[in-house]
Amino acid sequence: MSAPRQRVLTRVNQEGRGADAPPPPLRPATATSALFPQARHHAQFAARAPCQNLCSSRARPRRFASVTGPWGDKAYKEAGKFCNPNLIWTGKSSKYTSIPSFDALEQNPDASYLHICANETIHGVEFKDYPTPKNKDSILVADMSSNFCSKPVDVSKFGIIYAGAQKNVGPSGVTIVIVRKDLIGKAQPITPVMLDYKIHDESNSLYNTPPCFAIYMCGLVFEDLLAQGGLKEVEKKNQEKAGILYNAIDGSGGFYVCPVEKSVRSLMNVPFTLKRSELEKKFIEEAAKEGMVQLKGHRSVGGVRASIYNAMPLAGVQKLVDFMKDFQARNP
């Protein structure tokens, strides 16, 4: 592989770790590797879901999962093709508006790992505190695709963090995996080469031609995150943006409603409905005329959804809130 590509990968990895500028965006411990595999987000469901990278045995390993939304459900179903997933909790009956206390849940002592989706984009629920598997030999695996680099994370709590990182870090197609080094090299013999973390680790993510431009863009984003003061400062900005929007919803007297429990409301995705559903189409159309687009809720739930990722400025959120207040005044 060419030297220029090698230099890009090395520089971006160093910037992501932010060794000289705390708090860094990625901050893997020295006992972890940060990979840029070309197998995207959905492929990572298979890469670790069947324990292809977590269990060298051909026996069907056990894992347990909490399903807090559609993305967690996709990972759970993919795991069922290769191992014996034990569903310890699902929020489906409550329309994915909450996250449980894991201390009260029964966990399989033989399970290899616990899988969670850190932030569910469709329903707007987000883990504020990450669970600890009760089995000391189990590891925590997290899909952080939609809140990666939105706040500091103690990487030492996880065995694997993976992200289709196009929300906050790079162009669509970028995948980032942070994996504990002692978990590398345990892939089953049947694991495809492009899903084997050992292959990517040993080749510095250069096993074949990488999406060099996309990874280069990640480096620019990491530089910007560090220039802002690191992820603690980024988190403060995200909390301020989300707080303004949630306060507008909660203070509308029921005109706008967010169904998610306040303790687990997402900083990235804010879903809400209007008191009269027939107003939602009008709301979205009028907002678009004011330059605010893609506010339509996911087709599976409807309503309105404001995605306020890192790149959304405070002024953008304030503009939406002002519009919401004006729309309510005109449609009592």
- Residues labelled as active-site residues: 71, 143, 167
The residue whose two tokens read 């519009």 is 323
Angle between helix axes 314-330 and 231-250 (nearest 10 degrees) is 0
Would you tell me how many other CB atoms lie within 10 Å of the CB of residue 180? 18
Nearest to 207 by CA among 63, 19, 39: 39
The dihedral formed by the CA atoms of 113, 71, 201 and 175, expressed in degrees to the nearest 10: -160
Nearest to 85 by CA among 119, 48, 56: 48
What is the spatial distance between Cα 22 and Cα 106, in angstroms, rounded to a whole number?
38
The dihedral formed by the CA atoms of 225, 231, 233 and 239, expressed in degrees to the nearest 10: 120
Name the pairing type of β-strands 125-126 and 62-67.
unpaired
Per the DSSP assignment, residues forming a β-bridge with 139 are 113
